[in-house]
Amino acid sequence: MNNMNACFIDSHLHLLDDRFSGKTDFLIENANHADVAILLCNAVKEPDWSLIVDLGKKHGSVMPFLGIHPWHAGSAASGWDSRLIDLLGSLNQRSGIGESGLDKTSATDFTCQVDLFETHLDIAHQLSMPIALHCVRSWGKFVEILELKAKQNRLPATMVHSFSGSYETMKRLTAIGCYISYSVNIMDPQWKKISEVFTRTPLGHLLLETDAPGRLSPLLLENRKTITTFSEPILIPAFYQWAAQQRNIESTHFKQQIWRNAQIYTNKTPGG
């Protein structure tokens, strides 16, 4: 990756979601034609893994992130971690770990979530792969675990997706090298506090995502060829433009910096 050839990146989405059934290939091609060059496609449960791997083989822009979402932590079958390591070790394509994390709104036992979260982090460190993380109403424990991993020099390249924490939490995460990804939710006036945190996030730690097929902001719909009523990766260029305006940064410079930040996906430091 280099700044001269900077493209757009959708840092988190779920292309296997049922709402995209029968449309996945076209969604990817549509995004590619709009200069969206990298799509971070996350698994939520083990049956997703091979399907996402196949999608990545078919479309070079799709980077598989394999793991078990905290909502599905209770369904993790014995030996899932060994199977994940074996699968990732066999791949001939760039890949990562995710989606993992903590979520106190989930009915899944929290102790079980913590166990899986720490195991995902250890696998990412062992394999030198980036990890995509989810956190809802669990920021204290979440940050505590990440800070301990950092202190032990065992924190992998980490991206916290659809960030919804406080300014103080963002500062603690970026202090240990985490990247903070914001979803289109920050365009919603009801997310004003998070939008304010976004404007104060260090530019060198910033990423953007659609979290497709999540919430769709009407502000992104102008002159965009969407094929569903949900958020789609083709909308990421318009989100970049909006985000650059909020930061008072020239759009080309902003795009280049996000592209540079995305070297997390190749497990290289921005200067590497």
Looking at residue 175, its pLDDT comes to: 98
**C-alpha separations of 216 from 125, 198, 220, 237 in Å:** 34, 18, 8, 14
Query: Which stretches of the chain are DSSP H helices?
Result: 24-33, 48-58, 80-90, 110-127, 139-151, 167-175, 192-200, 236-247, 251-261
Q: Which strands sit side by side in the sheet containing 62-66, from one edge to the other?
A: 8-13, 36-42, 62-66, 96-103, 131-136, 158-160, 179-182, 206-208
Q: What is the percentage of the chain residues whose pLDDT exceeds 90?
A: 86
Looking at residue 207, its pLDDT comes to: 98
- Per-residue pLDDT averaged across 40-44, rounded? 98
Q: Which two tokens stand for residue 271?
A: 């200067």
Q: What's the CA gap between 261 and 116, in Å, rounded?
A: 27
pLDDT band at 248 (very low <50, low <70, confident <90, very high): very high
Residue 63 DSSP one-character state: E
* pLDDT over threshold 80, residue 132: yes
**C-alpha separations of 212 from 27, 42, 70 in Å:** 11, 10, 18
Strand partners, 40: 63
Q: What is the pLDDT of residues 52-111, one digit of tens each?
A: 999 999 999 999 999 999 999 999 999 999 999 999 999 988 999 999 999 999 999 999
pLDDT band at 116 (very low <50, low <70, confident <90, very high): very high
pLDDT band at 267 (very low <50, low <70, confident <90, very high): low
Q: What is the pLDDT of residues 166-217, one digit of tens each?
A: 999 999 999 999 999 999 999 999 999 999 999 999 999 999 999 999 988 8
| pTM, rounded to two decimals | 0.94
* pLDDT over threshold 80, residue 219: no
* pLDDT over threshold 50, residue 3: no
Q: What is the pLDDT of residues 135-156, one digit of tens each?
A: 999 999 999 999 999 999 999 9
Looking at residue 263, its pLDDT comes to: 87
Average per-residue pLDDT for the chain: 93
pLDDT band at 223 (very low <50, low <70, confident <90, very high): low
Q: Which two tokens stand for residue 200?
A: 């104060």
